[in-house]
Amino acid sequence: MDTKLELTVPSFRKIGLIAGVLFFLISIQMSPPDDLGWQGWVVFSISLWMAVWWITEAVPLAVTALLPLILFPLFGLGDIKSIGGSYASNAVFLALGGFVIGLAIQRWNLHIRIAMRTVQLVGTEPRRVVGGFMIASAFLSMWITNTATTVMMLPIAYSVALLIDKEGDGEETTKQNFGVALMLGLAYSASIGGMMTLVGTSTNVMFKGYFEENFGFEINFIDWMLVGMPIGVLLLIIVWWILSYIIFPCKMIEHEGIRRVVNERLEDLGRLSVPEKRTLFVFVVTASLWIGKGLFEPYFGGLQLNDASIAIFGATLLFVIPADWSKGIYLLNWDDTKDVPWGILLLLGGGLALAAAMNDFGVANWIGSKISQFENVPTLLLILITVAMVIMLSELMSNVATLTAFLPVIVVMAIGFGEHPFLFALPAAFAASCAFMLPIATPPNAIVFGSGLLSIPQMARTGAILNIIAIFVLTTMCFVMGVAVFEIELGVLPEFFEMKSR
């Protein structure tokens, strides 16, 4: 089976490499539709090329994201300066600042202390242990990447699972259920936690950047949390209950060995160190400015606080504040930035550049007009279909690439139906983080699958159930919370979006 995979995956990528270029070359030779125009048709052809390469991962995702810098100036779709602005947008710098702050939290092991304290508080009953690991994983993923969170939490969770397997009370099946529930809970909560803040995952930043770049509509950090937190908490509760009570019931007598494992990790960390305290200070200051900038602005002499500038401010402090003044050691050194996921930043920039071109040259409007045949379909059903489509695509390709490719179309579709774009786009953005079925869908899934404590059928069966639940939860919650936070009204298109879409 391994040999087959080794042959199949590279072949699939080679096919994608050639197919992307062929699609572009063939389509560019065709006459553009009467209602689009030649430049719009070129943008559409380029988007096809990029979509094929993103779906097949024929080349690294970040490399595909560089194509607008090459092709747009070549076909007169803008100069390098205007196109390059998308790669240095507020959204990109917000993500950069968030990544750097996350590196500092990891460097000084502050994330491990937070996680262990959380697990320690919930108790040692296995269902509570699953819940404790999920809470810790979700909280950390609000601020650092879900990949880093899962990599950090896995060894601890794995030790606990083995401990229960060897020494725990109960039947063998029940003990195995605990291990599977713990692994899946860890992966799923890392993805869910990323939904809750703007810096939690790149799709959130992509969503924010798209509406700022194309509509000048700013999404505040606190506004996102007001929607994301209730959704995330509800999904965490549902996932925990389904895992530990329904699919993998793991009711057992408390086992003090779990507490011993957690206490040993805390003892290894020792008391809260000076670098940890100072890193925690920077984190609290940055998060406070993000969340409460509206309250702080009057005290800054009329200065305007911006999420991106706050992120860079927090990141800069980490290079200025010393961890040990006498030794000249700072909370972060520039060498630490080698671990920043620079490819994600390029992917965000390329996605924003493509989305802007699709709007500027009428491609999004043209695609949206082709969907007008569905105007008699109930709005709620269309939203459900949109959310389901994004979730399914995210199982097979990068969630950022999925949202990048479809967000302009989703927005124009909503505008074409006379609906607030957030009614369709907001649940779609959250849906990109709900790929629960396959190990290849997202790094947390792949990482816990590598533990050997669960099988692909177990993950696929559980993920399929959770995906279906997520479709309805996201559609319902985004509408309810969107009405409250973003003043969404069913059947009403704000004049602002109507004007910008022309």
User: What is each CA distance from 91 to 202, 274, 297, 352, in whole angstroms?
Assistant: 9, 32, 21, 9
**pLDDT of amino acid 253:** 55
Token pair for 194: 């990323």
- Rg of the Cα trace of the chain? 23
**pLDDT tops 70 at residue 490:** no
**pLDDT of amino acid 8:** 46
CA distance 400 to 394: 9
The predicted model gives 283-299 an average pLDDT of 77
For 123-163, the pLDDT digits (tens) are: 777 888 889 889 988 988 888 878 778 877 887 788 778 77
**pLDDT of amino acid 497:** 61
User: What is each CA distance from 162 to 167, 255, 448, in whole angstroms?
Assistant: 8, 12, 14
The residue type found at 237 is I
Mean pLDDT of the chain: 82
Percent of the residues in the chain that have a pLDDT greater than 70, as a whole number: 88
User: Which pLDDT band holds residue 493 (cuts at 50, 70, 90)?
Assistant: low
User: Which pLDDT band holds residue 241 (cuts at 50, 70, 90)?
Assistant: very high
For 194-232, the pLDDT digits (tens) are: 999 988 888 898 898 888 888 878 888 888 999 999 999
**pLDDT tops 60 at residue 498:** no
**pLDDT tops 80 at residue 7:** no
Contact 244, 181 (CB under 8 A): yes
**pLDDT of amino acid 160:** 78
CA distance 254 to 256: 6
CA distance 445 to 454: 11
The residue type found at 51 is A
Going 71 to 77 to 83 to 89, the CA torsion angle's sign is negative
**pLDDT of amino acid 68:** 93
**pLDDT of amino acid 3:** 33
User: What is each CA distance from 167 to 98, 252, 410, in whole angstroms?
Assistant: 41, 12, 52
User: Which pLDDT band holds residue 6 (cuts at 50, 70, 90)?
Assistant: very low
Q: Please indicate whether residue 398 or residue 435 has the higher confidence score (pLDDT).
A: 435
**pLDDT of amino acid 216:** 79
- The three-state secondary structure class of 324 is strand
Contact 483, 423 (CB under 8 A): no
Q: Tell me the pairing of strands 329-330 and 322-324.
A: antiparallel
CA distance 159 to 190: 19
CA distance 423 to 236: 23
